[in-house]
Structure 1
Amino acid sequence: MKIILSPVRMDEALTVTRQGDTLTVNGEIFDFSPLTDGATLPREAIKSDWFCGPAERIEGELVVTLRLPHGANAPESTRFPQPLYMTADGAVPLPIYDILVSSAAAVESEPYSALIMTHNPTGEQYAVAKDQLKQVGTDVRIAE
């Protein structure tokens, strides 16, 4: 399954899980298993605003496009995401939602300069975000 992400600045959370050709998007189930090879299901036929393109089966692979909400300070990897290729069932590893930046003086009890917020955190996402922040000279603490 190929999931194309279309980033959009919004405050809503997104959770996605995959089970075969079925996606659960924020608790709502979408079964694309009836879609035959070469067929296209128009965006208008998918009753959810989270889908922003058609669902297609191309050479046996299901391809869908989902809106990807992100915060005002989302990293470049979220604002310009790569497609996700899902081969296993389970949670879809969405990019980091936002990076909240504050000064150490402003947060006396928790002196850190960035808080990373993510949809479904993975170790790889944390590592990418830490690298991006270190490149700009920011001390990093990740809230889990």
Structure 2
Amino acid sequence: MNWNMILSPQGCDSPQALVLAAHGATLLINGAVLDLSFLGDGDTLPAGAIDHPLLQSAEIRRQGDTIEIDGLLFPISLNQTDPTACFPEPIFVTGDGPITLPPQFPPEPEPTPEPEQQDAPNADQH
């Protein structure tokens, strides 16, 4: 089974990390199992048909061996500026396993090196 996911970024103060994995016609969303094996070719579920907070506005359809989720809410940090997260491309998945997502959080800032301490000249030295 293939998956085509169109993410809908949503800025949040403290978003929960999103973890997705596909296993056949089953999608795991942060550990919650969404079994869509009942969908036949050409079937569509309208927005709100699945009771999950990240799927509230998503339309789900099956075309042949591909399940498309259009509008999966993608929580991102309010200070995320990476275009791949703010304006994500659709994700096409062709196998089972974890699904790679754009970064939800900006990179951690590089630590600022502490200034080197200069040894003060010893008053006894001339």
Using the size of structure 2 for normalisation, the TM-score is 0.76
1:95 Cα deviation after fit: 0.5
Gaps of 5+ in 1: 109-144
Q: 2:102 aligns with which of 70, 92, 95?
A: 95
Aligned-pair distance for 1:44? 1.6
Does the 8 Å CA contact 2:80/2:86 hold for their aligned counterparts?
no
Output the amino acid matched with 2:7. L
Q: Which amino acid aligns with 1:9?
A: G
Unaligned runs of 5+ in 2: 115-126
User: Which amino acid in structure 2 is aligned with residue 4 of structure 1?
Assistant: I
Question: Is residue 55 of structure 1 aligned with residue 57 of structure 2?
Answer: no
CA distance in 2, matches of 1:103, 1:91: 28
Q: Which residue of 1 aligns with 2:25?
A: 21
Q: Does 1:74 align with 2:81?
A: yes
What is the alpha-carbon distance in structure 2 between the residues aligned to residue 3 and residue 102 of structure 1?
30
Q: Paired residue for 1:64?
A: 69
Structure 1 or 2: more helix by fraction: 1
Q: RMSD between aligned alpha carbons?
A: 1.8
3-state DSSP of counterpart to 1:43 = coil
Higher relative contact order at CA 8 Å, sep ≥6: structure 1 or structure 2? Answer: 2
Q: 1:69-107 CA deviation, whole Å, 9 max, x = no partner? A: 1111230111000011100100110101122464754x6
- Number of aligned residues: 107
Could you tell me how far apart the structure 2 residues matched to 1:9 and 1:33 are? 31
Q: Is the 8 A contact 1:74 1:96 kept in 2?
A: no
3-state SS in 2 of match to 1:78: helix
Identity %: 31
Give the greater-gyration-radius structure (CA): 2
TM-score, normalization: structure 1? 0.67
Larger CA deviation: 29-38 vs 50-59:
50-59
